[in-house]
Amino acid sequence: MNNINQIIEFIKEIENLKSVTRTAWTKTGRRESTAEHSWRLAMLLMVLEEDFKDVDINKAIKMSLVHDLGELYDGDISAKLQSADDNKSHMEEIAMKRMLTTLPESLSGKIYDLWKEYNECSTKEAKLVKAMDKLETIVQHNQGKNPDDFDYEFNLKYGKKYFEYDDVLKSMRNIIDKDTNDSINLKNK
């Protein structure tokens, strides 16, 4: 029962992810939040369960829910703007450790381990979540009401390597690349 207060404090702390915006826009033109992205990523993984029977989907869903928690304090850095000098992974690790101090060690360890596994991208679950993270982002870019100077071409290369190891992923990537090309053609009209 002592853990309940800590859990509630943690949930209050991560509420801030609802206000962390990304370089993606909804179809109404509002900036998407990190929380919205993580939610739709989790839904995407849930509905793909039948296509990835060799993957622990429950673990993948949990991983998707924690994969961007490190953006809580310093926000999201657009993939297009990232550089080796920005210390993104170091900043996110510091943020993870800071936020997880509110939880009991048994819970904080599980969340941290899932986050670390995602970032190392060495398990089946992490590889799938990484690919779907990229896919969800591109789907949002194609679906959103973006600024006039939005760079759709970037999406044609973005995260492509994460789709190469599986036929279902390759098919999904072909579909979203077609959607991206359609968005480019619409923009150029």
What six digits make up the tokens of 81? 């703007």
The position carrying tokens 């703007």 is 81
Q: Model pTM greater than 0.75?
A: yes
Where b means 16+ CB within 10 Å and e means fewer, 1-11 reads: eeeeeeeeebe
What share of the chain has pLDDT > 70, as a percent?
A: 93
For 107-119, how does the pLDDT look when each residue is reduced to its tens digit (9 = 90+)? 999 999 999 999 9
Radius of gyration of the chain (CA): 17
Domain assignment of residue 34, given as a range? 2-187
Structural domain count, the chain: 1
For residue 112, the domain's CATH number is 1.10.3210.10
* Distance (Å) of CA 155 to CA 92, 97, 183: 24, 31, 11
Are 123 and 114 within 8 A, CB to CB? no
The position carrying tokens 């390597």 is 161
Q: How many CB atoms lie within 10 A of CB 142?
A: 20
Tell me which residue of 189, 137, 131 sits closest to 165, measured CA to CA: 131
H helices of the chain, in order, are: 2-14, 34-47, 57-66, 88-100, 105-120, 124-143, 167-187
For 101-156, how does the pLDDT look when each residue is reduced to its tens digit (9 = 90+)? 999 999 999 999 999 999 999 999 999 999 999 999 999 999 999 999 999 999 99
